[in-house]
Amino acid sequence: MIAPLVEVKNIHKRFSGVYALSDVSLSIAPGEIRCLAGENGCGKSSLIKTIAGVYQPDEGQIILNGQMYDNLRPIDAIHEGIQVIYQDFSLFPNLTVAENLAINSQLEQGRKLVNWADMERTAQSALAHIKVDIPLRSRVETLSVANRQLVAIARALLHNAKLVIMDEPTTALTHNEVDSLFEVISELKSEGIATLFVSHKLREVLDISEKLTILRNGRKVSEGETNEYDEASITYHMTGRHISGNQFTFDATDDEIPLLSVDKLGREGAFENVSFNLSSGEIIGITGLLGSGRTEVALTLFGIHPANSGRMLIDGREVLIDSVDAALKAGIAYVPEDRLIEGLFLERSIGDNIIVSILDRIKDRMKFIDFKKASSIIETWIDTLKIATPNSENPAQSLSGGNQQRVVLAKWLAAESRIFILNGPTVGVDVGSKLEIHTRLRELASNGAGIIIMSDDMPEVVQNCNRVFVMHKGQIIREYKDDFVEDQLISEIENLK
């Protein structure tokens, strides 16, 4: 048995009386790939911050490389080879790749002057270490998220890392990028560097990790070899519930006029000849690789980038959607990809966010906002969507990701929208909240709304849509209907790469 690299025993951590971690133990061996899974707020972040010395546990022991620490400071953790790559990467967007990589080492040497040649050498060898090639002199803000992450990893390795902790590393990555990240992790393993991978994406957890630790409500609920788990059992441990995915079905009636009819819609340089019908009560999916044009279609349907050609009909009548305003009037709602920056006013209250698009309708005779009416609408939607908040006056940013998503839905529901376009509705949402959102969408559909989901999350699309369109290079190349086979769709998408 190899001596563990990191060993934490019976850790307790309270924040103002509330347990963030209770009696958690974890042991990581050198070179091991460990996954730490759990829903948002389960204590994952608290645990990694404890290992990194950022939080001091209230009780329990931390042993790094056989050395017991009573009062672990971040600098001690770094000296013991623990490196954390936070979700924001902690990079300097305005500085070059080389400087981002090597400024630490220059600082550590206690230098007063910058040695640029030395800096570039350090940076070059750091990138070579993980076998990637990123131009040293480009500024970090010009890099893709995946490349920024690689820079962050390369930087972590410069400090003789023995354990690299990655907090939700795949959230913003595409499939290909996730694959290359996994290659880097395997590469680290071959050098004896362990990885602690924090995630709530089940497929990734199963793909990459050797051992798995699952937290729920601050407790360790399960631990073992990853190959002893499958998606269902991980979901069960994470949520404490058995979640069964059932297929969404829709019974079309033939003679009905479609709710939305898109006819040969095109926008120069983005997509062309896009046609489909959406009936009331239907959920359709549009999928494709990143850059296939699906996001552009969504933006055009919502009037942000109006179409150059083709037409749109709602209830059989032609409508001109040339602005967001026109889209709203036509009853079209858009829930953007990044709900955090596009869909919500994070600092404003939950209530304000819900009524923001219906201010016109809740005016009294004096043109002032009728607050009684407003608050009754707000309460209705908080109840209906089960938004978990003690008070609708709280800022939207006080909510968890899943609840924020619901606020966005509430906003559009309050606006009495009938056509919903959702772009990556569950990106970065944990499995429990994901199910909630899917349930809400189905409820919406059964109440007569038509829903379009733009997503590259195949299981999501397959399970929740009765028809799926595949886009590639700005065109719809195939439609999958009714009882299609998931594997067929997935392999088609894979082949497009």
Q: Report the residue number, 129 or 305, with the smaller CB distance to other proteins.
A: 305
- Take residue 468 and report the two structure tokens written for it: 């799926």
Angle, alpha carbons 172-175-177 (nearest 5°): 70
Shortest reach from residue 270's CB to other proteins, in Å: 4
Shortest reach from residue 154's CB to other proteins, in Å: 14
Q: In terms of Cα–Cα distance, which of 385, 321, 305 is closest to 353? A: 385
Shortest reach from residue 10's CB to other proteins, in Å: 29
Shortest reach from residue 179's CB to other proteins, in Å: 15
Task: Please state, in angstroms and rounded to a whole number, the distance separating the CA atoms of residues 166 and 172.
Answer: 13
Q: Report the residue number, 94 or 186, with the smaller CB distance to other proteins.
A: 94
Q: Report the residue number, 42 or 471, with the smaller CB distance to other proteins.
A: 471
Shortest reach from residue 102's CB to other proteins, in Å: 10
Q: Report the residue number, 104 or 125, with the smaller CB distance to other proteins.
A: 104
Q: Report the residue number, 65 or 174, with the smaller CB distance to other proteins.
A: 174
Q: Report the residue number, 336 or 402, with the smaller CB distance to other proteins.
A: 336
Place of tokens 């995915």: 245
Instruction: Please name the residues in contact with 30: beta carbons below 8 A apart, sequence gap of 6 or more.
Output: 2, 5, 162, 192, 193, 194
289 in Cβ contact with 325 (< 8 Å): no
Shortest reach from residue 473's CB to other proteins, in Å: 8
Burial of 66 (0-12, 13-18, 19+ CB in 10 A): exposed
Q: Report the residue number, 106 or 170, with the smaller CB distance to other proteins.
A: 106
- Output the CA–CA distances (angstroms, integers) from residue 198 to 42, 166, 183, 284, in the order listed: 12, 6, 17, 32
- Sequence-ordered strand ranges (E) for 429-494: 450-454, 467-472, 475-481
Q: Report the residue number, 116 or 371, with the smaller CB distance to other proteins.
A: 116
Q: In terms of Cα–Cα distance, which of 350, 354, 356 is closest to 394? A: 350
Binding site for other proteins (CB under 8 A): 88, 90-95, 99, 103-104, 106-108, 111-114, 116, 267, 269-270, 289-292, 296, 299, 305, 473
Shortest reach from residue 121's CB to other proteins, in Å: 17
Dmax over CA atoms of the chain, in Å, equals: 79
Q: Report the residue number, 103 or 451, with the smaller CB distance to other proteins.
A: 103
245 in Cβ contact with 460 (< 8 Å): no
Shortest reach from residue 45's CB to other proteins, in Å: 15
Phi-psi region of 446 (alpha: psi -120 to 50; beta: other; left: phi over 0): alpha
Shortest reach from residue 4's CB to other proteins, in Å: 26
Q: Report the residue number, 270 or 319, with the smaller CB distance to other proteins.
A: 270
Task: Please state, in angstroms and rounded to a whole number, the distance separating the CA atoms of residues 239 and 38.
Answer: 8
Instruction: Please name the residues in contact with 318: beta carbons below 8 A apart, sequence gap of 6 or more.
Output: 311, 312
- Sequence-ordered strand ranges (E) for 349-449: 419-423
Q: In terms of Cα–Cα distance, which of 157, 158, 156, 154 is closest to 143? A: 154
Q: In terms of Cα–Cα distance, which of 422, 491, 409, 419 is closest to 458? A: 491
Shortest reach from residue 269's CB to other proteins, in Å: 6
